[in-house]
């Protein structure tokens, strides 16, 4: 007989284990209440007499309890139940204790590489991880059903952010309504923050608000510079008034006021950059912030907005100094530059900003680009109007929403959380049988659906008091004290994400072709994407919750999924023989393809990932070929909603080398100039999953980075 354990593994039946368990319970009761050797043997004989080939370990334990009570050993049965429960706690908490010890000792590979922007050696990060380990333990033992925990452990799905799930008030990511907080005042820790009267003050307050908001959720957040533009005019008017009081003529007043304003904008942007990169949230890291630069968001303050954008880009091009005083590429904030008719053509008024953005991308990997034209063709609201707005954090996009006044609303909205489905596992489990594939797909989708419902229901218990900066003081809402946030989780106001990973491997296994092949591969890939969307649509219609398909970043999960697939299915060439699986719908990193073909092809899949996704191309150093960058930018504007260019800008402390730090065959980073491999003496910045990572990566992600091919040929660049 085989015994099926709680984790799904099968072991040989062992009567000795039953006898030992009852004997241990015997030691806890008086002699008269103990079971005799004969009675124990009779219980074992009864179990074996059932003649079953397989039994669940829980069923055997249930039988033991019933048999003990049937022979009048009630106290012993009680002790056995207690013993059983205690073993359950020990079994499930042992790994927690070990994880905590390994974290503190710096020996836990997962936590050391869980996030490429977190340093697990730093006490603030460790404190967050310690809380995360506890939260994960509580989540697994008390908050999630066993089948969902088992599916998560086996890599069938991924229940994201379990390390924050124990607190029912935390959500994923959002678009901060900075305009509301700055214009109408807000409150941080019981301190009233009134409307600022100049740009420098507004920028300083903005960083404090961003840090407070980021400490009250676990995902990324985004602000728009448009909300800061009115304060540029406030500062200019103050300077103008100052010089008017000195009786200068109009031209002189305006000249001096503009000079003073330029200095203040420079100081304000510098303050913002320093604050964002030096502040630490309760998550033990700098705020995961994206900054939107969209001229089309305002007509009234467009000139002021253009001034801020220009200074942001200039300072990012310069970079930030490391401990040796060398300018390097900072991880934050991520910059989002919206391409539009006013800045995309050579004769456009703000084309100079796009040229500056191209220079910044070539040197510092940001900004990333959103096409207003493509986005408006995809994000159609109920009034039939196209919408353009930034992502929340690195890639999560809201669905269009119109408020009670009939106006589109983006800022102040958020995402409830993510559960990801492993598409590769579905394919391998089906063993290439298409009919079986779709049956398993639907079963796994329903598993994800239940997991997402658990997320939603837990968050729906929150009231505005749990995070006043979010729900009472304008970041996301202006609710009353103790008011429920429940209504904000429905009617399309917020989204909840069905993530997916490994489309390439899924399609490759099922069809023998990459989804880049025009034919069965591509069509099957699109069919899979449509199936994901159909599921979200069905759930939304029933529950009035905005389920949305999301191209999951899977920063550390890519390695976890790859290992799980090998454990379940062995090594399958081209499918499970790497330490990572492919992100979302992306062309696999090792597939040779030119930049424009890649972006055009991925745009079709991006359109079917409305809850969030980003495409990228890998490039060599393009600082001396901005024409190539501009060519890509213009292509993005016409062909794809959201994309980025991945360049390289690293630094070696040992020899001062600036260029690309490489990865050897053992997945060790090294300086090609002096051979330095000390992580503490290397500054490496790589696009990890939308954000730039700068604290190195786990084995799977490092392998993926090493395998990335260049999508713009070096010879073409040199020419």
Residue 674 annotated to the active site = no
Residue 690 annotated to the active site = yes
Instruction: Please tell me which residue in 320, 394, 536, 652 is annotated as part of the active site.
Output: 394
Residue 88 annotated to the active site = no
If you search the block for the tokens 């996301």, which residue do you land on? 476
Distance, in Å, from the CA atom of 591 to the CA atom of 587, rounded to the nearest integer, reads: 7
Instruction: Please tell me which residue in 129, 239, 550, 691 is annotated as part of the active site.
Output: 550
Residue 391 annotated to the active site = no
Instruction: Please tell me which residue in 115, 129, 164, 173 is annotated as part of the active site.
Output: 173
User: How large is the C-alpha radius of gyration of the chain?
Assistant: 29
Residue 85 annotated to the active site = no
Instruction: Please tell me which residue in 284, 690, 693, 700 is annotated as part of the active site.
Output: 690
Residue 394 annotated to the active site = yes
Q: Which two tokens stand for residue 102?
A: 């390994």
Instruction: Please tell me which residue in 304, 555, 618, 644 is annotated as part of the active site.
Output: 555
Instruction: Please tell me which residue in 216, 387, 396, 683 is annotated as part of the active site.
Output: 396
Instruction: Please tell me which residue in 108, 116, 117, 172 is annotated as part of the active site.
Output: 172
Ramachandran angles phi, psi of 370, nearest 5°: -110, 125
Distance, in Å, from the CA atom of 390 to the CA atom of 465, rounded to the nearest integer, reads: 28
Residue 172 annotated to the active site = yes
Residue 274 annotated to the active site = no
Instruction: Please tell me which residue in 135, 177, 415, 548 is annotated as part of the active site.
Output: 415
Residue 214 annotated to the active site = no
Instruction: Please tell me which residue in 392, 529, 630, 671 is annotated as part of the active site.
Output: 392
Sign of the Cα torsion 621, 626, 627, 630 reads positive
Which of 67, 64, 134 lies closest to 95, judged by CA? 134
User: What 3-state class would DSSP assign to 178?
Assistant: helix
Strands 682-683 and 686-687: unpaired
Q: How far apart are the first and last CA of the chain?
A: 71
Contact 431, 510 (CB under 8 A): no
If you search the block for the tokens 């908001």, which residue do you land on? 213
Sign of the Cα torsion 544, 412, 166, 278 reads positive
CA 255 to chain centre: 46
Contact 608, 533 (CB under 8 A): yes
- How does DSSP assign 239-297, residue by residue? HHHHHHTTT--HHHHHHHHHHHHHHHHHHHHHHHHHHHHH---TTSSS--EEEEE-GGG
Question: How many beta carbons lie within 10 A of that of residue 430, not counting itself?
Answer: 19
Residue numbers annotated as active site? 172-173, 392, 394, 396, 415, 550, 555, 690
């Amino acid at each position: 007989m085989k015994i099926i354990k709680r984790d799904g593994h099968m072991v040989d039946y062992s009567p000795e284990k039953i006898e030992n368990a009852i004997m241990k319970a015997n030691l806890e009761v008086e002699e008269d209440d103990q079971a005799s050797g004969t009675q124990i043997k009779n219980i074992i004989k009864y179990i074996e007499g059932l003649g079953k080939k397989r039994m669940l370990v829980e069923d055997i334990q249930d039988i033991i309890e019933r048999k003990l009570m049937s022979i009048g050993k009630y106290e012993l049965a009680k002790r056995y139940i207690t013993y059983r429960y205690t073993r359950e706690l020990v079994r499930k908490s042992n790994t927690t204790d070990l994880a905590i010890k390994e974290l503190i000792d710096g020996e836990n590979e997962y936590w050391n590489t869980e996030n490429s922007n977190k340093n697990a050696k730093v006490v603030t990060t460790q404190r967050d991880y310690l809380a995360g380990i506890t939260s994960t333990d509580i989540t697994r033992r008390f908050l999630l059903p066993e089948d969902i925990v088992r599916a998560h452990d086996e890599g069938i799905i991924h229940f994201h952010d379990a390390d924050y799930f124990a607190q029912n008030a935390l959500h994923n990511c959002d678009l901060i309504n900075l305009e509301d907080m700055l214009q109408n005042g807000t409150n941080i820790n019981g301190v009233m923050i009134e409307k600022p009267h100049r740009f420098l003050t507004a920028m300083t307050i903005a960083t404090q608000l961003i840090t407070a908001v980021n400490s009250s959720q676990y995902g990324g957040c985004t602000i728009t510079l448009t909300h800061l533009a009115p304060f540029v005019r406030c500062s200019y008017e103050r300077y103008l008034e100052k010089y008017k009081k000195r009786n200068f003529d109009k031209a002189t007043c305006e000249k001096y006021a503009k000079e003073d304003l330029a200095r203040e904008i420079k100081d304000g942007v510098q303050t913002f950059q320093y604050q964002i990169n030096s502040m630490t949230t309760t998550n033990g890291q700098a705020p995961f912030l994206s900054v939107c630069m969209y001229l089309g968001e305002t007509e009234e303050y467009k000139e002021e907005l253009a001034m801020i954008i220009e200074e942001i880009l200039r300072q990012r091009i310069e970079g930030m100094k490391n401990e040796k005083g060398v300018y390097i590429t900072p991880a934050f904030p991520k910059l989002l530059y919206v391409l539009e008719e006013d800045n995309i053509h050579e004769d456009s008024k703000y084309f100079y900003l796009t040229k500056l953005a191209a220079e910044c991308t070539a040197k510092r990997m940001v900004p990333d680009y959103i096409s207003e034209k493509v986005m408006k063709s995809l994000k159609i609201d109920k009034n039939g109007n196209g919408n353009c707005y930034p992502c929340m954090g690195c890639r999560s996009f809201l669905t269009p929403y119109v408020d009670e006044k009939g106006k589109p609303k983006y800022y102040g909205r958020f995402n409830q959380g993510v559960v990801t489905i492993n598409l590769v596992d579905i394919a391998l489990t089906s063993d290439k049988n298409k009919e079986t594939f779709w049956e398993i797909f639907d079963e796994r989708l329903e598993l994800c659906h239940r997991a997402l419902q658990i997320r939603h229901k837990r968050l729906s218990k929150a009231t505005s008091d749990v995070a006043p900066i979010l729900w009472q003081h304008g970041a996301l809402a202006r609710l009353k004290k103790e008011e429920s946030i429940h209504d904000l989780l429905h009617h399309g106001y917020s989204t909840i994400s069905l993530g997916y990973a490994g489309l390439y491997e899924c399609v490759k296994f099922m069809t023998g072709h990459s989804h880049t092949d025009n034919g069965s591969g591509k069509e099957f890939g699109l069919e899979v994407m449509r199936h994901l969307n159909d599921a979200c649509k069905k759930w939304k219609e029933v529950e009035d919750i905005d389920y949305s398909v999301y191209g999951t970043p899977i920063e550390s999960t890519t390695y976890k999924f790859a290992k799980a697939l090998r454990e379940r299915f062995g090594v399958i060439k081209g499918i499970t023989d790497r330490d990572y699986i492919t992100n979302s719908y992306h062309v696999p990193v090792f597939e040779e393809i030119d930049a424009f073909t890649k972006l055009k092809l991925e745009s079709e899949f991006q359109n079917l990932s409305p809850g969030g996704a980003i495409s990228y191309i890998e490039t060599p150093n393009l600082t001396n070929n901005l024409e190539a960058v501009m060519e890509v930018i213009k292509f993005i504007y016409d062909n794809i909603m959201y994309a980025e260019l991945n360049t390289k800008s690293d630094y070696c402390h040992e020899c001062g080398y600036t260029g690309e730090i490489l990865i050897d065959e053992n997945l060790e980073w090294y300086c090609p100039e002096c051979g330095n491999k000390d992580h503490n003496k290397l500054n490496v910045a790589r696009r990890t999953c939308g954000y730039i990572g700068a604290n190195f990566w786990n084995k799977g992600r490092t392998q993926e980075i090493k395998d990335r091919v260049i999508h713009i040929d070096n010879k073409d660049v040199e020419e």
